[in-house]
């Protein structure tokens, strides 16, 4: 693990943080090998076998998001109206993103900018790392986790095509809002790591600007917390639930999402657990009523 940690930090400083699913998977796989170095290689190769289809699906997911931008003008004004309707009474008629940046955004980097950059980066590794731990400890629960995660991402992707929506920074660039800075990675400057966020910045430049509704950043954060919540002692619940709230603050403050995007993302998480749970129970009931063909086939 020490060798792994040194190599990870060296790659972080030289290349950037692992925000690409395939690149992040490589580091997570290497971490499982380092943590369980006494296991036979057959076990490590089984990890790759189970995960390669998952990684390929997420790579295709990232690529397909770009096709949601079909050249049409994305939805923006209704999101602005929704945020102003919900919070305008407390923000002087501004959307929360503009209000937060007016009060917290300064040329110099503060501690909350550093915290926001770390929280933003966590989106790219927390869900994958949690899945890796599940695979090592309970492959059955890992499969249940992946079914829900895959459904959540698919539902978000369909929405991007049906309802392309732009984030606050896009609205500001196109004159629909007052100035909004995109500042989700500026916290690295406090460490003198100006290149640490290069991969994140490059990904933001190439990202699809109409994939704001729903916010899968906060949806993933809430999904991971809810999946493990019932198996966690209640005294830890406030700490776990603080994570999706921190992600919400980060995304709204940094100009990446409106609050309405976050609320819809949370609704998608609830829909995911409901639909996949019903499907699993229905499948289990069907199998109980219909024995497998192999078992029913006469000798």
Residue 168 near residue 255, CB atoms below 8 Å:
yes
In a domain, 88, yes or no: yes
Per-residue pLDDT of the chain (299 residues; tens, 9 = 90+): 888 889 888 887 777 777 677 777 788 888 888 887 777 777 778 877 888 887 777 777 666 655 555 566 788 899 999 999 999 899 888 999 999 999 998 888 888 888 988 898 888 888 888 988 888 888 889 899 999 998 998 898 888 888 888 899 988 888 888 888 888 878 776 666 544 444 444 444 445 566 788 998 999 999 999 999 988 888 999 999 999 999 999 999 998 999 999 999 999 999 999 999 999 888 888 778 877 644 544 44
The residue assigned the tokens 């290497």 is: 30
In a domain, 204, yes or no: yes
pLDDT number for residue 219: 94
In a domain, 102, yes or no: yes
In a domain, 51, yes or no: no
Give the Cα separation of 127 and 145 in Å (integer). 10
In a domain, 13, yes or no: no
Give the Cα separation of 146 and 126 in Å (integer). 14
In a domain, 291, yes or no: no
Give the Cα separation of 252 and 200 in Å (integer). 17
In a domain, 30, yes or no: no
**In 3-state terms, what secondary structure has residue 124?**
coil
Residue 52 near residue 74, CB atoms below 8 Å:
no
Number of separate domains in the chain: 1
pLDDT number for residue 68: 54
In angstroms, the Cα distances linking 12 to 18, 194, 197, 252, 282 are: 8, 12, 9, 26, 45
Residue 188 near residue 210, CB atoms below 8 Å:
no
Give the Cα separation of 170 and 59 in Å (integer). 25
pLDDT number for residue 275: 95
Q: How deeply is 61 buried, as exposed, middle or buried, from its count of CB atoms within 10 A (0-12, 13-18, 19+)?
A: middle
pLDDT number for residue 202: 46
Total residues belonging to the chain: 299
Give the Cα separation of 202 and 63 in Å (integer). 15
In a domain, 83, yes or no: yes
Domain hosting residue 171, numbered range: 66-285
């Amino acid at each position: 693990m020490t060798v792994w940690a040194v190599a990870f930090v060296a790659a972080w400083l030289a290349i950037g943080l692992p925000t690409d699913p395939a690149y992040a998977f490589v580091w997570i796989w290497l971490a499982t090998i380092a943590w369980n170095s006494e296991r036979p290689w057959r076990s490590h190769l089984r990890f790759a076998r189970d995960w390669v289809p998952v990684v390929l699906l997420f790579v295709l997911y990232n690529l397909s998001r770009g096709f949601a931008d079909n050249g049409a003008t994305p939805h923006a004004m209704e999101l602005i109206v929704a945020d102003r309707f919900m919070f305008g009474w407390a923000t002087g008629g501004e959307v929360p993103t503009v209000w937060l940046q007016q009060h917290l955004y300064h040329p110099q980097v503060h501690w909350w900018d550093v915290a926001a950059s770390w929280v933003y980066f966590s989106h790219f590794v927390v869900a994958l790392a949690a899945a890796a731990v599940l695979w090592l400890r309970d492959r059955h629960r890992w499969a249940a986790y992946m079914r829900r995660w895959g459904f959540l991402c698919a539902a978000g992707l369909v929405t991007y095509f049906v309802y392309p929506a732009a984030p606050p920074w896009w609205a500001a660039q196109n004159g629909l809002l007052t100035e909004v800075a995109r500042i989700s990675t500026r916290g690295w400057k406090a460490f003198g790591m100006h290149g640490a966020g290069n991969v994140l910045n490059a990904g933001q430049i190439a990202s699809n600007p109409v994939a704001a509704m729903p916010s899968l950043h906060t949806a993933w954060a809430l999904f991971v917390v809810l999946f493990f919540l019932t198996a966690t002692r209640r005294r830890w619940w406030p700490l776990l639930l603080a994570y999706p709230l921190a992600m919400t603050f980060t995304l709204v403050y940094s100009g990446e999402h409106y609050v309405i995007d976050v609320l819809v993302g949370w609704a998608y998480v609830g829909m995911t657990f409901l639909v996949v749970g019903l499907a699993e129970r229905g499948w289990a009931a069907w199998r109980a009523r219909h024995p497998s063909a192999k078992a029913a086939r006469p000798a």
